[in-house]
């Protein structure tokens, strides 16, 4: 027979002022009445340790949630996102002060940012909705505060979960669901219309600050408005028409003066691989799902990557068809980043000259004259950009302010002027015709077939300590034992919970991989997630899985590729 929260309360009262370690005995499931259940999956070792993991499961009967109406991937994601934020708001508005030492009384749910990503913080199925929480069970020093612990576990947590479901705005949830449906349709439309990205009229692209995901809401903020040349109109849910700028596939330049919105537009396109919540300003900015942001990354490790399309004939006859380096330069790292993205199926490269290696992007006529090609191992990107699209179907969106030589290669030229886009393609072609470049194409041969590089699990296991720990450290680092995996240049990671999921994925690979290629590993993992859900990558499957959110395959590949040899 299932114990009740009343039983748990009595046990906690008996533990008052006793050793904190006794709390391990309360792990288990408890009935809270009316079908509600409290699951104590993990209890922290002391009040200063990582918090305890709790789940609150509530039957859908008695709520206004109809699973049959929600049972589409984009809608399930939206419900999880919405109620994660809603619980967090309810918690913030509650007057909770349990006192105690360490993490005592702390209540945490993995509340998301504006990106709507598959995450573990809320789970919903045909019968139940479940809140996955972390909390600090109250203590004084290392002695249990029995009354406060009972209040937290048996009253506050179930009450917060129930109030979240009782008093949310149904209109706001319906708006979020409709927005998710619209985004799904827009993604279908950009594929059908051979577009790289779509930016809706009225979108607010600037952010409040460089490290904020909140929209800039000042009176001088300029809503996005498409040039007529690229204006597209698409019908989405309920017959609604959304108009905006469609960036066609091919080679697209974003030009303009400094501080006029070039990088802001590219950043919105970069984040458009994710759905966004209503009110973010970018909820109708959608980008084809394989787009990858590329940049230089001085100091990164590279392992057996064929960078010969861009780097060849290095001094001392170093082989660039299987290039390995523990400390790559800006140009070699950017070349490797492109090839690795292509290996994972990327069809759109997103590049900003501000974060690129200059000698990788361009070599002008004067430099060609002074430094002969036989002394220069780099084939600049300008000499491959057309080949990438014409022969391999890989588009490029490039922010540019310093080299008009790219005008010859461009299919489309967007000029940003005080955050307003203009079509300057014709003007750019006229400039290119009037001021003909005298630089020479320097590419030799074509881009060879991409390789399926083997990723032995020993790349991971040899770095693990005796405990086998692989841990995330914020947004941009994972540690394998004591070895850091640096992800600071993987710019499409948007949540620390994605990085936590990457750490779990690496652990999975260290156990299950048997000399598979990188793409075989990725395909296997994502098929497992599709079949069994995101929880399946967690070592705590069947319980609170930890605070995880789904990264894209391209970010998993980036993590694998940055493990030092």
Cβ atoms of 15 and 506 within 8 Å: the answer is no
Residue whose token pair is 């070349």: 335
- Give 496-544 as a 3 state SS string: HHHHHHHHHHHHHHHHHCCCCEHHHHHHHHHHHHHHHCHHHHCCCCCCC
Residue ranges in the chain whose pLDDT is less than 50: none
Alpha carbons 392 and 375: distance in angstroms, whole number: 29
H or E element in which residue 85 lies: helix 73-93
Alpha carbons 167 and 516: distance in angstroms, whole number: 50
Cβ atoms of 139 and 47 within 8 Å: the answer is yes
Q: In 3-state terms, what secondary structure has residue 66?
A: coil
Cβ atoms of 336 and 344 within 8 Å: the answer is no
Which structure tokens are listed for 190? 């950009």
Instruction: Report the sign of the C-alpha dihedral through residues 349, 354, 355, 359, in that order.
Output: positive
Q: What is the pLDDT of residue 213?
A: 84
Residue whose token pair is 């040349």: 229
Q: In 3-state terms, what secondary structure has residue 314?
A: coil
411: nearest Cα among 238, 533, 267, 229: 229
Task: Print burial letters for 184-214: b (CB count within 10 Å at least 16), e (below 16).
Answer: bbbbebbeeeebbbbbbeebbbbbeeeeeee
Cβ contacts of 51 within 8 Å, gap of 6 or more: 44, 103, 106, 108, 134, 135, 136
Cβ atoms of 430 and 269 within 8 Å: the answer is no
Cβ atoms of 73 and 530 within 8 Å: the answer is no
Which structure tokens are listed for 153? 């576990």
Which structure tokens are listed for 479? 């540690």
400: nearest Cα among 334, 435, 356: 356
Task: Print burial letters for 412-438: b (CB count within 10 Å at least 16), e (below 16).
Answer: bbbbbeebbbebbbeebeeebeeeeee
Q: Where are the alpha helices (DSSP H) in 393-485?
A: 425-434, 458-461
Q: What is the pLDDT of residue 255?
A: 98
Cβ atoms of 500 and 506 within 8 Å: the answer is no
**CA geometry: angle at 4 spanning 3 and 8, to 5°?**
90
- Give 236-301 as a 3 state SS string: CHHHCEEEEEEEECCEEEEECCCCCCHHHHHHHHHHCCCEECCCCCCCCEEECCCCEEECCCCCCC
Q: Are strands 251-255 and 323-325 parallel, antiparallel or unpaired?
A: unpaired
């Amino acid at each position: 027979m299932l114990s009740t929260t009343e039983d748990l309360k009595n046990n906690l009262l008996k533990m008052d002022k006793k050793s904190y370690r006794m709390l391990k005995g309360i792990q288990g499931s408890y009935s809270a009445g009316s079908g509600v259940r409290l699951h104590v999956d993990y209890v922290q070792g002391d009040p200063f340790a990582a918090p305890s993991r709790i789940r609150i499961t509530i039957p859908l009967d008695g709520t206004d949630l109809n699973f049959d109406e929600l049972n589409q991937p984009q809608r399930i994601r939206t419900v999880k996102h919405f109620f994660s934020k809603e619980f967090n708001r309810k918690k913030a508005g509650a007057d909770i002060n349990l006192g105690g030492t360490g993490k005592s009384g702390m209540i945490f749910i993995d509340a998301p940012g504006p990106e709507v990503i598959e995450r573990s913080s809320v789970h919903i199925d045909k019968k139940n909705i479940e809140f996955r929480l972390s909390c600090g069970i109250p203590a004084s020093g290392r002695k249990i505060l029995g009354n406060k612990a009972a209040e937290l576990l048996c009253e506050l947590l179930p009450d917060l979960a129930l109030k979240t479901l009782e008093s949310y705005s149904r209109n706001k949830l319906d708006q979020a669901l409709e927005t998710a449906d619209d985004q799904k349709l827009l993604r279908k439309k950009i594929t059908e219309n051979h577009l790289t990205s779509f930016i809706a009229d009225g979108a607010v692209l600037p952010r409040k600050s460089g490290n904020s995901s909140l929209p800039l809401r000042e009176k001088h903020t300029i809503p996005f408005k498409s040039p007529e040349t690229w204006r597209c109109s698409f019908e989405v849910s309920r017959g609604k028409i959304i108009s905006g700028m469609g960036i066609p596939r091919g080679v697209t330049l974003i030009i303009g003066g400094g501080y006029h919105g070039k990088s802001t537009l590219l950043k919105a396109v970069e984040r458009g691989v994710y759905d966004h919540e209503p009110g973010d300003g970018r909820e109708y900015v959608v980008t084809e799902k394989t787009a990858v942001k590329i940049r230089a990354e001085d100091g990164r490790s590279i392992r057996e990557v064929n960078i010969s399309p861009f780097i060849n004939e290095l001094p001392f006859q170093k082989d660039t068809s299987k290039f390995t380096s523990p400390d790559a330069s800006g140009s070699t790292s950017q070349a490797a980043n492109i090839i690795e993205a292509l290996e994972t199926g990327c069809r759109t490269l997103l590049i900003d000259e501000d974060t690129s290696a200059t000698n990788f992007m361009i070599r002008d006529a004067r430099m060609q004259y002074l430094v002969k090609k036989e002394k220069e191992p780099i084939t600049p990107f300008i000499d491959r950009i057309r080949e990438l699209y014409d022969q391999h179907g890989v588009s490029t969106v490039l922010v540019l302010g310093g080299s008009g030589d790219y005008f010859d290669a461009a299919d489309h030229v967007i000029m940003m002027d005080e955050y307003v886009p203009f079509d300057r393609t014709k003007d750019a072609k006229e400039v290119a015709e009037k001021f003909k470049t005298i630089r020479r194409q320097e590419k030799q041969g074509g881009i060879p077939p991409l390789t399926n590089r083997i990723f032995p699990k020993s790349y991971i296991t040899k770095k693990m300590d005796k405990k086998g720990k692989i841990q995330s450290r914020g947004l941009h680092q994972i540690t394998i034992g004591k070895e850091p995996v640096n992800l600071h240049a993987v710019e499409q990671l948007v949540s620390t919970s994605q990085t936590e999921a990457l750490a779990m994925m690496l652990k999975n690979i260290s156990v299950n991989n048997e000399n598979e290629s990188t793409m075989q590993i990725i395909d296997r993992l994502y098929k497992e997630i599709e079949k069994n859900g995101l929880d399946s990558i967690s070592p705590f499957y069947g319980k609170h899985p930890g605070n995880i959110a789904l990264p894209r395959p391209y970010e998993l590949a980036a993590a694998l590729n940055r493990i030092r040899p």
